[in-house]
Structure formats: structure tokens, C-alpha cells
Amino acid sequence: MLIHTIQDVRYCVKQWKKEGLTVGLVPTMGALHNGHLSLIKKAVEKCDKVVVSVFVNPIQFCPGEDLDKYPRTLDEDTKLCDKAGVNIVFAPSPTEMYGENQMRTNDFLTYVIPPFFYVNKLCGKSRVGHFDGVCTVVNKLFNIVQPDYAFFGEKDAQQLIIIQKMVKDLNIPVQIIPCPIIREDSGLALSSRNKYLSEDNKIEALVLNKILSNIKNCYKKGITDVEALKETAYQFLTDKHDLEYLEFLDQENLEETNTANDTTRVFIACKVGGVRLIDNTLLGE
């Protein structure tokens, strides 16, 4: 069932809760692919009722980012969700979520601001304010849907870690379920933004996974010095790749490390053909 208003979602969830049913939430920005569907499948398996939110959240986009051209495919998304056994697709308008205050400014909107230590690195460095927008909308969705479980992909590992921190710090009564990264056979991590890649760019985009896989192989062979591991990446980079970051951080608290271990997550962001792509891997996996 496709629902556009907060009031209607609340009404349905209230009925479910009266019956003692468990509720799962999968927050998305739509343009659903198999990565999203893996979260949805997990939610349908684990919960009695599942809500998938489809909302391109304006306040998590920075000036100059792709808010206007972000792919919007609600009809297809709704069909995919129906087929997957989702009970509600919640697709609010920006006005439904934020009233008239849809700009990314805290002059008129109450924000949830994650800790600086978690956002002054990786994607937070170039996307200033992005995680304020993410935490604010996820917090709103939690308040609207009141899920027992919420499903997030390790594809956006910094986002997942920040949301886990928010839930802990603010005592939000929801259990976060992390879900592994889904890739194409080629190794390219699925992303709604892959739609912007030309066929040539798609081949160049394999560089992210190549670098991560090679680093993991080197680690498994016994190299733990982070500088030495970083060095192994450069052989894969050409002038077609604009590397934004390659970082080795603790998977729980995003602390930097000089010596890699099994709890180190390697994060990469690289622009290919003007499209910003991210990927990551946990060395102990």
C-alpha cells in the first residue's frame, strides 16, 4: 500500500501494535535496486509488518549536489516493494516532512546533530551538514513509524555507525540491523547513483573494489602497516579516477589507526566520470 501522509502511516502502525505485531522500517531514497531489496528481504523475514520509506531528503543534500536530478522512480519502487511483501511504502512529500522549512538551515528546524568526531572525516568532510540531515530525517522516520527494527546497509558504513551512535546516545527504542554490501558480478557496489555512469565509466568504477580487495589480500598476507597498505592502491589509479579519500578506521567508533587489525574498516571515495562513488570493506571479514 502506498501512503503519502504521516497521519495515515501512524494509523496503520497503531493498528499493528494493538495486535502485538513487530514492525520493521527500511529507510531509502528510492530508485530501488538489489541492494535495497536485500534489506527489504531481511526485514520481511524478521518482522510481521514492514514499512519502506521512499524519500529524497532535501536537507541531506549539500549545495551543488544532485538533489534535483536524483533518480525518482516511485511507480517501479512500489511494484518492487509489493512483490517483496512490503506492507506500506511511505512516500511523503518534502512539505509533508518539513512544512515550508525545506532548506538546509537550522534557523527554523530542530536538527539532530551527530558528534563532530564521527562527521569530521570520510564523507562528512566534503559533505558538510550531510549527516545532520540524515540523522534528522531518520529520527523523524523513527518517531513516525516507531519500528522495532530498522535496516541499514554497510554500503554507507559511516551513516550506519552514526545512526547506531544516535540510537544509543538518544535511547531510541529501535534495534538497528546492519546488512552486507550487495555488488554486481563485476564487484561494483550497487548504488542508485550508478545510473549516472556510462558503460566506460562503469569499468573505471571497478577501481574502488579492486583497491579494497587488493588491500584485504595484502592484509591477509600479514601486512598491517596502514601506510604500506595505502601505497598498494596507487597502482590502480589513473587520471580517470579522482580519489577523495582512502582511510583505515575502527569499525565501531571511527578512530584512526596506523596498524590495521580485524576490526579495521577501509573506506574509499572516488569520483569517476564526475560521479562520486563510495565503497568499504572490513578487514576481518
Three-class SS of residue 75?
helix
Q: Are 56 and 70 in contact (CB under 8 A)?
A: yes
- Maximum C-alpha span of the chain: 59
Q: Least distance in Å: CB of 24 to ligand AMP?
A: 13
- Considering only 12, 28, 52, 204, the residue that binds ligand AMP (CB under 6 A) is 28
- Considering only 156, 184, 244, 250, the residue that binds ligand AMP (CB under 6 A) is 156
130 is catalytic: no
Nearest CB to ligand AMP, comparing residues 77 and 148: 77
- Considering only 181, 197, 215, 254, the residue that binds ligand AMP (CB under 6 A) is 181
Point out which span in 35-43, 97-105, 166-174, 257-265 binds ligand AMP (CB under 6 A).
Answer: 35-43
Among 213, 215, 188, 245, CA closest to 35:
188
The Cα 140–Cα 150 span in angstroms is: 13
Q: Are 265 and 121 in contact (CB under 8 A)?
A: no
- Beta-bridged to residue 256, according to DSSP, are 249
Q: Are 29 and 70 in contact (CB under 8 A)?
A: yes
**∠ CA 145-31-166, rounded to 5°:** 40
Point out which span in 66-74, 124-132, 151-159, 169-177 binds ligand AMP (CB under 6 A).
Answer: 151-159
- Considering only 24, 35, 92, 147, the residue that binds ligand AMP (CB under 6 A) is 35
* By CB under 6 A, residue 189 contacts ligand AMP: yes
Q: Which residues are catalytic?
A: 36
Which residues of this protein are in contact with ligand AMP, per CB under 6 A? 28-29, 35-36, 38-39, 152-153, 155-156, 179, 181-182, 189-192
